């Protein structure tokens, strides 16, 4: 991996890369009764907000300014979260493009009053776009994977991006075909 994007590739001056660890963060929160759903467990939307908050902090740190959520992929709820759980949301930049970045998030929970190891209760992948003061896309520094795990996450993120783009293309092609056939949605 290089630590800079060449001017020839980007058409703009080189942007130094940042290591994965530079923006990695953990957000922790104790779940209370106000966080519960009708089943008495923590509402998935509460967890999703924590995921978006942590991912947004990481994206802003990595890009050096505002970044907005463009999409959330593969939000998986693996175990229920209960009142009294201490939830840890761990996020890091997995991959960067020209103006976007994928942030991977792991959600762990442990009882607030026990000394047992945390259990993974969820995971998600979010795509953020860096924006300037006018809301226009701006360049982001390349991410520099440091460990073998970071390198694996980078490669997996490239696969997810390829799938997102192919899915978007297939949907747009279908819509164009239906419109050409005079079929209104």
pLDDT for 41: 96
> CA–CA distance from 72 to each of 22, 102, 112, 148, 174 (Å)?
22, 9, 28, 25, 23
Q: Which CATH number fits domain 18-181: 3.40.718.10, 1.20.140.10, 3.90.600.10, 3.10.129.10?
A: 3.10.129.10
Q: Has residue 5 got a pLDDT over 50?
A: no
d(CA 45, CA 60): 22
pLDDT for 175: 94
Residues 17-59: tens digit of each pLDDT: 999 999 999 999 999 999 999 999 999 999 999 999 999 999 9
Q: What confidence tier does 143 reach under pLDDT thresholds 50, 70, 90?
A: very high
Name the β-bridge partners of 88.
28, 108
The fraction of the chain above a pLDDT of 90, given in percent, is 86
What is the token pair recorded at 172?
Answer: 């747009």
Strand 67-77 and strand 119-130: the pairing is antiparallel
d(CA 57, CA 38): 30
Residues 56-70: tens digit of each pLDDT: 999 999 999 999 999
**Domain regions of the chain by residue span:** 18-181
What global pTM score does this model have?
0.87
Q: What is the CA radius of gyration of the chain?
A: 19
| Length of the chain, in residues | 185
Name the β-bridge partners of 16.
4
Q: What confidence tier does 11 reach under pLDDT thresholds 50, 70, 90?
A: very low
In 3D space, the residue among 103, 124, 96 whose CA is nearest the CA of residue 55 turns out to be 103
Burial class (CB in 10 A: 0-12, 13-18, 19+), 65: middle
Q: Has residue 1 got a pLDDT over 60?
A: no
Q: Has residue 85 got a pLDDT over 90?
A: yes
Q: What confidence tier does 74 reach under pLDDT thresholds 50, 70, 90?
A: confident
The fraction of the chain above a pLDDT of 70, given in percent, is 93
DSSP string over 59-100? HHHHHTS-EEEEEEEEEEE-S---TTEEEEEEEEEEEE-SSE
Q: What confidence tier does 13 reach under pLDDT thresholds 50, 70, 90?
A: low
């Amino acid at each position: 991996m290089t630590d800079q994007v060449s001017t020839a590739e980007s058409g703009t001056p080189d942007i130094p890369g940042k290591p994965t660890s530079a923006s990695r963060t953990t957000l922790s929160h104790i779940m209370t009764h106000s966080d519960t759903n009708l089943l008495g467990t923590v509402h998935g939307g509460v967890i999703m907000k924590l995921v978006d908050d942590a991912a947004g902090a990481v994206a802003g740190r990595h890009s050096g300014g505002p970044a907005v959520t463009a999409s959330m992929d593969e939000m998986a709820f693996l175990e229920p979260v209960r009142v009294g759980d201490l939830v840890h949301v761990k996020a890091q930049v997995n991959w960067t493009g020209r103006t976007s970045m994928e942030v991977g998030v792991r959600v762990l929970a442990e009882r607030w009053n026990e000394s047992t190891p945390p259990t993974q209760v969820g995971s998600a992948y979010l795509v953020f776009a860096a924006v300037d003061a006018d809301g226009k896309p701006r360049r982001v520094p390349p991410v520099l994977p440091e460990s073998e795990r970071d390198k694996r996450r980078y490669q997996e993120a490239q696969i997810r991006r390829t799938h997102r783009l192919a899915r978007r293309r297939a949907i747009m092609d279908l819509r164009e075909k239906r419109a050409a056939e005079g079929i209104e949605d």
